[in-house]
Structures are given as C-alpha cells and as structure tokens.
Amino acid sequence: MKLVKKISLLATAMLAISDLSYAAEPNTDYELKQVVIVSRHGLRAPLTEGADSLINATPYKWQKWDSTGGFLTAKGGALEVYMGHYFNDWLVQNGMLQKNTCPTDEQYYAYSNIVPRTIATGQFFTTGAFPGCDKIKYHHLADLDGKDPIFFQSINDTSKEYVTKVVAEIEDFIDQQNLASSYAKLQEVIDYKNSYDCKVDKKCELAKQPNTVVLEHGKESSIDGPLHLAFWMVDAFMLQDYEGFPAGQVAWGRIKSDQDWVTLAKLRNAYIDAAYLQPTLVNRTIKPMLAHLNQIMPDQQSTEQAKITLLVGHDTTVGPIIRAMGFNDYTLPEQYEKTPIGGKIVFQRWHNKKSDQDLLKVEYVYQSTKQLRNLEKLTLASPPQRVTLSLKDCQIDANGFCAWSDFKKVMNNLVN
C-alpha cells in the first residue's frame, strides 16, 4: 500500500480522537478496579499469495493486496487506533484513568504474541488509547523466532490414548455439523467445477472429500482436507470485505446476500471449533494462558498486577479461553465470526461498595462487519458492539455480575 494511503488512514483515525460524545455516567455503587483485555489481532491480509491449494480450487485469480499476507494492514492499524481510543474513554468514564494523561507501568501493561500482526495490533491499540505517550513500554518475547507458550497452543502429548480420544472428538464434531449446504455454496462462489482440482484432479465435491486430523508434538493441531481449505477461502473473503474492497471484487462479486455470508461463515467457525476447541484438546493446550490469567487476576487485587492489562493473540487464543473456561454459548449481533477480527474478551473486576464485594463481569467487545468495512470511528455515543458473557459456574445477576470468589473457584479448578 502506498505510504500516502497509510498516513491518510492513520491520520483519519487520530483526528477523530477529538470528536467525542459522552454517554451517561455509570452507576456510582460500583467501582471498576481492574480490566484484562484479551484481544484477537486486527485486520490482516489473507494468506492467498502463492497458496497452491487455494489457487487450484478456483478458476478465478485471487485479488492482490498491498500488504504482505498475514501482516496487519494500514486499515487494520487505524481500526485498532479507534478501538484503543474508545477504551480510553470508557476507562476514563469509569474512573480508572485520568483524561489526557499517560499511564504509569502500574496502570497499564501490554503484552502480545511474537507474530508481527499481534505486535502491531497492540501497538496501534496503545497509540489510540494513549496518543502522544511515547514512553509506554510494550512487551513480547525477545526471541521473535521462538514460540511463546502463553499464546502457542502446542500438542505436548502424543500417546496413543490421548491422540485417539482427541481425533474421535474432532471427527464426531465434524460429522455433526451438517456442512453440505455450506460446501455447496462455497463451490458455487469459487466455481469449483471449473477449477484445476475438479478438471485435472477430479476432485469436484468438497463435501465428499475426507478430513484428516493432524496432531504432532510441539505443533498446534490442524485438519487437512476440505474444511481447512474452506476455512482459508472464507477467511480471505471476509478480510476482503473488512478491508473495503469494492463489492464486485469481494469473492469476485459472487456473495450476494447476508444469508450467503451466514452459510459460508459456518465453515470458518466449524474449522476453528473442530481444530482447537474440542474438550480433551482445549483443556490442555490453553492451560498456560489460563494459568497466566489466573495469576494476573488474583483473589485479592494487589499492586503487583497492572490495573489495565492488554494481551494480544489470535482467534486460537480467544476461542479456546471461552471454551475451556465454560462460558455459555453466545451470539454476536452484526457479525458472522464467533471470534471476530480485532474482537476482545474484557474481564472486569468491579467492587460493590454497598456489599463490599468484588464482582466479575465479562464482555465481548468487537466491531461489526459494517463498522470494520466503513472504518467507523468509535466513541461512547457510537460504541463498538458489546455482548455480556456468562460462565456456567458463575451465575450472573441482571447487571451481568457474578461473585469474584466463584470466578476464582472456576479458574483454580482449571489450572490446578
């Protein structure tokens, strides 16, 4: 992407910081004491360039991107600037920050996985939240070629018993998904019957091709086959839409309706669920992250934990946390993904002054497909989407609060 376009996008985001409309003041009976934000990285370019499996599955040529595949786009940076500024407004409104001041190390701690798109996401979010505060420290592993165990959900058990159980759960899940209509829609969109796969290799029906579970020690789980192919193709279409490609270029203009998106998104969501969220697998692979969360959200708040923590990972971070912790199922209005690009799980420690009790509230904060595509600025009056989540073993009240002590029981049982 040309430098002038990058500057224009980021300047637009930064200029909007001064254009605010504030919402009503919160209930003064509750005091916000701690916030932990677990974020998926922001808008990136898809991994279509040179990918033979994607090239051979359609007669159409994949659109060129100005950004390198897998890297945050300039628009992705601008969207995170908007989100960061919105969070600052919300935190100021709830008394955790002072307006127009830079946070101390005790107030704000940002840490990301070592992938370029996660580092960039956290940096842009931080810039939006604290413009002009160039002394804020941003943290990640020093070895950029390594694997951060907090974010990398690797297989550490390849015993026959464990592998057999995991494979059975994944295969059973896929069998129950009834994906035939979604595969058929994808084949229509990509014109699969005229692809190299069909004409040369005689693979003409995705639904009839096998999926193979791959579990290798030290690597993340994966699935070879049509579901993985569908995941990457639908992912690419969504990213084209978020980036703002003309409608005639998004999936070559062959996605015609919201229902088409819903039908196709089922494939992407199913792959994430199958490959990363099945119980025997997820309860073990996400444990380092859960242990980290348990440590930074202790029984009693202390000065050792920052009041505001940002952790930036992937959909394979956010999804496993939600599944392993036992959150009830949820719906995200105005989105097709279960773990949207740039979406954030926001753990909040509130203190009820009347009962002198700490409470937990968890929300999914994310941008709708429209907000992403249109690069809409976010303010308290025009906020991102917010959905309250609930834990099965931490009953919430009408305001979305559950007892912090019950939450800690859930966490301690998971990590001990």
Is 260 catalytic? The answer is: no
Which is it for the CA torsion 52, 55, 57, 62, positive or negative?
Answer: positive
Beta-bridge partners for 311? 38, 111
Q: Is 218 exposed, middle or buried (0-12, 13-18, 19+ CB in 10 A)?
A: exposed
Tokens 């930074």 -> residue: 296
60 half-sphere exposure, CB direction, 13 A CA radius: 17
Q: How far apart are CA 318 and CA 330, in angstroms?
A: 14
The three-state DSSP-derived secondary structure of 214-258 is ECCECCCCEEECHHHHHHHHHHHHHHHHHHCCCCCCHHHHCCCCH
Candidates 29, 41, 258, 358; catalytic one: 41
Candidates 89, 197, 235, 315; catalytic one: 315
Which is it for the CA torsion 177, 180, 183, 189, positive or negative?
Answer: negative
Cβ-proximal residues to 37 (8 Å cutoff; 6+ apart), any chain:
87, 308, 309, 310, 311, 344, 345, 346, 347
Nearest to 229 by CA among 255, 195, 200, 277: 195
Is 191 catalytic? The answer is: no
Q: How far apart are CA 205 and CA 83, in angstroms?
A: 41
Nearest to 410 by CA among 366, 364, 362: 362
Residue 209, token pair as written in the block: 């091709």
Q: How far is CA 389 from CA 238, 242, 348, 361, in A?
A: 24, 25, 12, 8
Residue 358 phi/psi, 5-degree rounding, is -85, 140
Q: How far apart are CA 338 and CA 334, in angstroms?
A: 11
Whether the CB-CB separation of 306 and 107 falls below 8 Å is answered with yes
Residue type, 157: D
Stated length of the chain: 416
346: left (phi over 0), alpha (psi -120 to 50) or beta: beta
- Active-site residue numbers? 41, 315
